[in-house]
A and B are shown apart, each in its own frame.
Chain A
Amino acid sequence: MSTTTTPGRGAPGGFAGAIASEWTKLWSVRAPYLCVLAGLVITGVFTYYYASIARINDDPVQPVGNAAGSSAVLVQFAFVILATVAVTSEYSTGSVRASLLWVPRRHRVQAAKALVAAGVAFVAGAAFAVLGTAVAWAAFDGRATFESGQSLRQVLAIGLYQASVAVLTVGVAFATRHPAGALSILVTLLWALPSVLLGLGGPTLTDVNDHLPHGAGDRLMSIGADAPSTPVTAVTAVLIVAAWAATAHLIGLYVLRRRDA
């Protein structure tokens, strides 16, 4: 011990330390960069086509932010994969035991992971929405309206939706521990089930879809004639999305606490 110094009090550790640690871990592997890049590309392509098709089909004039709002159905999977890998790669490499040694309060580990993933999803999701809105504005070529307050609301709604998806994903990933299991659940919940429900149609199935995460989220992200965004439905929609994220978080926490690492 003669050659080493005793560490001072240093950084705070605790929850702040857990967040800093998760942040360091997240960006020290390639997966999140690829996910963000994929989200960026999907946003650009999707919003361009969305606006172009609306222009070609001579659709009714709509808020320009709808292009980005609709792109969320695909872009969300960039954050699903980012958050899934952040959890399941620790189980596949065994490094989750290191994480739990560093932060033995398990709820803290999960909360830190969820918060970091949600923060990335919010910032990147909102940034993509801004970019998608710009791309769409050009491609709509006059078949869309721009109102700064409304567009800003849509951008924030998209960011919040993607953040909620990230929290939901972290919960599911802690519950399943395997990427295949987590992704099948999330693809079903966020894409396959809504497609089936809306494909079959009818008021009941549409109502069910409105209570799924993406259905509810879409009420906030897109503004259309068929989905009047009254204050009540917006609040309800926020609560529905939040409830899904919270439920998944608690299920993940239950498994994380109960099972041996």
Chain B
Amino acid sequence: MISLRGLTKRYGDTLAVDELTLDIEAGRVTGFLGPNGAGKSTTMRMILGLDHPTRGRALIAGRPYADLRRPLRVVGAMLDARAVHPARSGRTHLVAQARAGGIPVRRVDEVLETVGLTKAARRPAGTYSLGMSGRLGVAGALLGDPPVLVLDEPVNGLDPDGVRWIRRLVRERAAEGRTVFLSSHLMSEMQLTADHLVVVGRGRLLSDTPMTEFLAAASPASARAVVPDPGERATLVRRLMTADGVSVETSASGELTVEGRTAAEIGDLAHHCRVRLHRLSDVRVSLEQAYMELTARSVEYGAGGSAATDEGARQ
């Protein structure tokens, strides 16, 4: 388990991380979201002892990373997959890591096999594609078989197969009771991977909730229904509109979009009024929508409609 207590990082006048207090629990995948410059990477670097907090503490299993007796056996981290000497082979990089951590060198070949890099293992890391570098980074994180994984953008540069592989991998680790903390910019991927979400904006904690609650809180229940008969459609709309907080839109093709009612409620009502339905489904809120709603007010650079453009310019 990772605990942050009032974790704060100041660069000159800028508060990169502002009083972050939260627990990242074992046994689930915790996703870490936030706009660029929100302090995600700084937070991860402080957890791993690379950056010094201005105030507060980041503890892993109750200790600062630097005080862990065998850090590589406790935490597997992947921060920047490209941060490998380009002339060194992927395998030698891992051998150096194994030696530093007191891990048997045969374990290197095991993790290379696990991440599918065995063939390229003896090539200079500088010749690796972004996806291969990512796999090498994951191999390094898995080397010590640690109970805690901290991964910054692990799916960056991976092909669809690789993305699914990472998803399965971290979900398996969490199911084994390990702590998984990962950031990603791919919302759809995060929605499939994470059980729990930590969202930061301008260095502050905006949300620390289970994924399902995060999605549910973002917008009220809504559903779509197709009613083939125009008369019956009008009846259903009239009955739906009698309740407060329900709005109905009818598309040109006759499809109803109902906000404030779930598919189940509409189905019951339709059955009650003897209205025939051809299709009925809940509208699933995407994590992207929910996330955008939450962070719209805290995007650091630019405001409102220009936020996305500004963020693009910063990359």
Residues of A within 8 A of B (CB): 1, 3-14, 17-18, 20-21, 24-25, 28-30, 89-90, 93-95, 97-106, 258, 260-261
Contacts and interface: CB of A to CB of B under 8 A. Distances in A.
Interface in B73-129: 73, 77, 79-80, 82-89, 92-93, 95-104, 107, 110-111, 114
Nearest to A13: B102
Contacts of A1: 145, 172-173, 176
Contacts of B45: 97, 260-261
B114 A3 contact: yes
B61 interface: no
Contact of B70 (A13, A18, A30, A90): A13
A261 B102 contact: no
B114 A93 contact: no
Contacts of B68: 104
12 contacts: A4-B114, A4-B142, A7-B107, A10-B102, A11-B98, A11-B103, A20-B100, A89-B85, A101-B48, A101-B77, A102-B97, A104-B48
Interface of B: 45, 48-52, 65-66, 68, 70-73, 77, 79-80, 82-89, 92-93, 95-104, 107, 110-111, 114, 140, 142, 144-145, 172-173, 176
Contact of A93 (B66, B79, B85): B85
B58 to A, nearest CB: 12
Nearest to B86: A93
A97 B104 contact: no
Given A20-B99, A21-B100, A104-B66, A93 B144 contact: no
A34 B309 CA distance: 49
B101 A90 contact: no
Given A29-B87, A97-B80, A17 B102 contact: yes
B96 to A, nearest CB: 4
A98 B140 contact: yes
B39 to A, nearest CB: 14
A101 B50 CA distance: 8
Given A21-B97, A95-B85, A12 B102 contact: yes
Contacts of A13: 70, 72, 100-103
Contacts of B101: 13, 17, 102
A90 B85 contact: yes
- Which of B99, B144, B172 is most buried by chain A, counting CB atoms within 10 A of its CB? B99
B141 to A, nearest CB: 10
Nearest to A14: B102
The 4 closest A-B pairs by CB, nearest first: A13-B102, A94-B83, A21-B100, A102-B100
Given A13-B101, A21-B100, A29-B88, A97 B79 contact: yes
Given A28-B92, A95-B83, A98-B83, A6 B145 contact: yes
A22 to B, nearest CB: 8
A104 B51 CA distance: 11
A260 B52 contact: yes
Contacts of B50: 97, 100-101, 260-261
A155 B102 CA distance: 36
A11 B96 contact: no
Contacts of A3: 114
A252 B66 CA distance: 19
B51 A11 contact: no
A31 to B, nearest CB: 9
B89 to A, nearest CB: 7
